[in-house]
Structure 1
Amino acid sequence: MAEKRNIFLVGPMGAGKSTIGRQIARQLHLEFYDSDSEIERRTGAEISWVFELEGEEGFRAREEKVIEELTENMGIVLATGGGSVMSKESRNRLSARGVVVYLKTPIEKQLARTQRDKRRPLIAEAEDPRKVLEELAQERDPLYEEIADITVQTDEQSAKFVVNDIIEQLESINGLG
């Protein structure tokens, strides 16, 4: 790869951003980061605990700072948290500093992929996780679409297929790969 560009994955929880991101990074010989994992590393605590202690607002402030710092690097793949697009500053940084890939995933798939995951504070305690995911989608989907350079459906595809699809699209728009 002649030029090391950043690749930023956005999308809802359960879209496969971390799984897909790791594989893209491996194939393109880039460094992989996950903003949620980075927050956990820096705080020494799980995301759910940060949410409990600081609320969503405190978590989002940490997330915005992590995204600001990580997007200053070159040659990385970054899997962002589902709500990272709620910050205009983060959206601007992601758009300006790399190629944004939106992993679009239907609610059914999100539910299937997240139903046993107690580390997702927005749905872990929800009486109706489907309703929460639908509300989040209504609020966030337009923001994902606003900054996406590439949009990929992840619902019925294998991770390998999605990774190859993304890499092909990256090559066609930027000469990556």
Structure 2
Amino acid sequence: MKHVQREALQRFTDRGFDDVTVEEIADAAEVSAMSVYRWFGTKEALVIWDEFDPPILASVTERLTQGHPPLAAVRGALVALLDEVYDRERDLALARTQLIHREPALLAAATANGRALRDALTPVFAAHGQMTATRARVAATIATALLETAVDAWQREDGQRPLAELITESFAAIKGLS
């Protein structure tokens, strides 16, 4: 799936999201268009898809089990994952993120993806944090907003600072706000 995404990102970056068809991407990746749709579902998902959410949720769950507060668990999980993944795939991730922020359809899909992460975090927080459903949803909403803030800063700064540093900075910025 990664090679299909790379082909898609290259074409979207060169020619624009609206000017590239799934069929062209499939041809370039030497797979069928049907396979692309089966793997990704939509053209937007070719850009939005990543493998990060399952390991983030697993790491958050582990950290909550160890007694970390919800936001600290998310921050720790993100920083640990990003130190590993973004060192290996920084350029691809930055190109992907910048494309998402340039294209309204992709930004809408990314926003929906962020909501899905929030919705996945909420029951994890509720189950491990001995908190009400409302408090768990608020914590999950804050966590995903802080992630979104860091990712937006990272792409605006053209990746000059490590994303893990921006995540740490975003999570620290809420201290004393309430």
TM-score of Structure 1 vs Structure 2, range by shorter chain: 0.3 to 0.5
Structure with higher RCO (Cα < 8 A, 6+ apart):
1
Bigger share in strand: 1
TM-score of the aligned structures, taking structure 2 as reference length? 0.34
Bigger share in helix: 2
Higher alpha-carbon Rg: 2
TM-score of the aligned structures, taking structure 1 as reference length? 0.34
